[in-house]
């Protein structure tokens, strides 16, 4: 059943437009985007799709198929919590720049896993803004869509996120890495390392950015930058400079500086082995310096790193649960994923393979 058919069944009328956006997985550059740094994400096959039409009354009517959750409210009421806060946040940021958004019927369906660190929220924001751009004939380019999505998440969902997730949802594809300078927004599409493909496994450990240490990590980085006398940690390239910072600011800053350097090093490296080694170093830094990993993630990464034909593996996303990404030999992702998942399950955890999307092959 298509989302258009679902919309018809829910609202007893056909949608007037529909838009989608992908989730993303980040191979290198974790927790660097809100430090004005460098990132290397790529889009994943899973998408969020938003169907839209005008409401017949003075209220918004939103429905999430995956959550089986309704929301009905007027433009003057407080933003509800949950998925509605992201959607209504997109409406509010459009209104702030002068656009009028009438009451809407909106239907959301998504195959992007929630709570796995694959940017389900950014996919929802970008899909919503693309749908509104189409429905209301707005003059917005893809970078503006990403910026508005970021502001919706910061202002209305309470997550002090960087720009990476929304830029990836708006501009990335599944065949390339998106190198992005999050300060200038300079970007370019790069090929994956030769003879390699991506494997993503959900650890089965959910997490919520708004209630996790994510905002705390951002504050720690801002304080470290202030003490170092720079606008952002992106402006420091030598990790030895952080030695005189107090704990844990020294380790937080060291991770960001080294992670930015790893992304820039990856641009010069075409081999899968060299790229994988950078991923392994990234996970160790996220585990020990940034302290955003958890035992289940560490176990899953360890199993991946020890498996033949795996070049490198690390947690992806903000951490505190979620998914791991691995760079593996071409044509081996499915078999490696099944073997690692079996071993992971025997240690008491329950994960699942997300990429390749076995439901789509």
Q: In this predicted model, what pLDDT tens digit does every residue of 328-351 receive, in sequence order?
A: 999 999 999 999 999 999 999 999
Q: Are both 200 and 289 inside the same structural domain?
A: yes
How many residues does this entry show for the chain? 361
Query: Would you state the pLDDT for residue 359?
Result: 66
- Choose the final residue of a domain: 145, 172, 189: 189
pLDDT higher than 50, residue 1: no
3-state secondary structure of 198: strand
Q: Are both 228 and 301 inside the same structural domain?
A: yes
Active site residue 181: no
CB contact at 8 A, 250 and 242: yes
Pick the catalytic residue: 6, 33, 36, 165? 165
Give the pair of three-digit tokens for residue 339.
């073997």
pLDDT higher than 90, residue 262: yes
> CA 262, CA 28: separation in Å to the nearest integer?
7
Query: Would you state the pLDDT for residue 115?
Result: 75
The owner of tokens 């599944």 is: 174
Q: Are both 176 and 272 inside the same structural domain?
A: no
Longest CA pairwise span in the chain (Å): 64
On whether the pTM is more than 0.85, the answer is yes
Residue 258 lies in a domain: yes
Residue 208 lies in a domain: yes
Q: How many domains does the chain have?
A: 2
Residue 361 lies in a domain: no
**pLDDT band at 210; cut points 50, 70, 90:** very low
**pLDDT band at 224; cut points 50, 70, 90:** very high
3-state secondary structure of 125: helix
94 burial type by CB count under 10 A (0-12 exposed, 13-18 middle, 19+ buried): buried
Q: Are both 9 and 128 inside the same structural domain?
A: yes
Residue 360 lies in a domain: no
Residue 230 DSSP symbol: S
Query: Would you state the pLDDT for residue 75?
Result: 79
Q: What is the mean pLDDT of residues 196-221?
A: 86
- Choose the final residue of a domain: 189, 206, 227: 189
Residue 332: CB atoms within 10 Å: 17
Domain CATH number, residue 159: 3.30.230.10
pLDDT in tens, 274-293: 999 999 999 999 999 999 99
Average pLDDT, the chain: 94
Query: Would you state the pLDDT for residue 211?
Result: 58
As beta bridge partners, residue 268 has none
Domain CATH number, residue 269: 3.30.70.890
Tell me the residue range of the domain where 22 lies: 3-189
Q: Are both 153 and 206 inside the same structural domain?
A: no
Query: Would you state the pLDDT for residue 79?
Result: 66
Q: Are both 102 and 223 inside the same structural domain?
A: no
Residue 9 lies in a domain: yes
Q: Are both 136 and 262 inside the same structural domain?
A: no
Q: Are both 206 and 99 inside the same structural domain?
A: no
Order of all β-strands in the sheet with 196-205 = 310-316, 322-329, 196-205, 352-355
pLDDT higher than 70, residue 272: yes
Q: Are both 315 and 327 inside the same structural domain?
A: yes
Q: How many CA atoms lie within 13 A of 241 on its CB side?
A: 18
- Choose the final residue of a domain: 169, 189, 209: 189
């Amino acid at each position: 059943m298509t989302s258009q058919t679902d919309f018809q069944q829910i609202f007893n009328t056909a949608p007037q437009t529909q838009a989608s956006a992908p989730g993303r997985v980040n191979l290198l550059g974790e927790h660097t985007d809100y430090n004005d740094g460098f990132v290397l994400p790529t889009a994943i096959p899973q998408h969020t799709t938003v169907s839209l039409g005008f409401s017949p009354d003075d209220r918004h009517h939103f429905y999430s198929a995956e959550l089986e959750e309704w929301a009905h409210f007027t433009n003057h009421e407080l933003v509800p919590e949950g998925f509605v806060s992201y959607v209504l946040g997109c409406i509010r940021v459009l209104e702030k720049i002068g656009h009028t958004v009438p009451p809407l019927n909106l239907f959301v369906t998504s195959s992007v896993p929630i709570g796995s660190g694959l940017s389900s929220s950014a996919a929802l924001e970008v899909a919503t803004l693309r749908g509104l751009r189409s429905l209301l004939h707005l003059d917005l380019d893809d970078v503006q869509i990403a910026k508005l999505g970021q502001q919706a998440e910061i202002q209305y969902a309470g997550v002090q996120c960087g720009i990476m997730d929304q830029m990836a949802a708006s501009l990335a594809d599944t065949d390339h890495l998106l190198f992005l300078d999050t300060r200038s927004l300079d970007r370019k599409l790069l090929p994956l390392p030769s003879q390699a493909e991506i494997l993503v496994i959900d650890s089965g450990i959910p997490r919520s950015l708004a209630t996790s240490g994510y905002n705390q990590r951002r504050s720690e980085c801002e304080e470290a930058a202030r003490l170092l006398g720079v606008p952002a940690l992106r402006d420091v390239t030598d990790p030895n400079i952080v030695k005189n910072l107090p704990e844990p600011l020294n380790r937080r800053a060291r991770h960001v500086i080294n992670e930015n350097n790893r992304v820039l090093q990856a641009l010069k490296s075409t081999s899968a082995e060299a790229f994988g080694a950078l991923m392994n170093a990234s996970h160790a830094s996220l585990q020990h310096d940034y302290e955003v990993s958890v035992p289940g993630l560490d176990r899953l990464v360890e199993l991946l790193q020890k498996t033949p034909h795996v070049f490198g593996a690390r947690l992806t996303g903000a951490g505190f649960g979620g998914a791991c990404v691995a760079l593996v030999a071409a044509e081996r992702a499915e078999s490696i994923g099944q073997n690692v998942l079996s071993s992971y399950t025997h240690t008491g955890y329950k994960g699942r393979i997300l990429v390749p999307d076995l439901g789509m092959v």
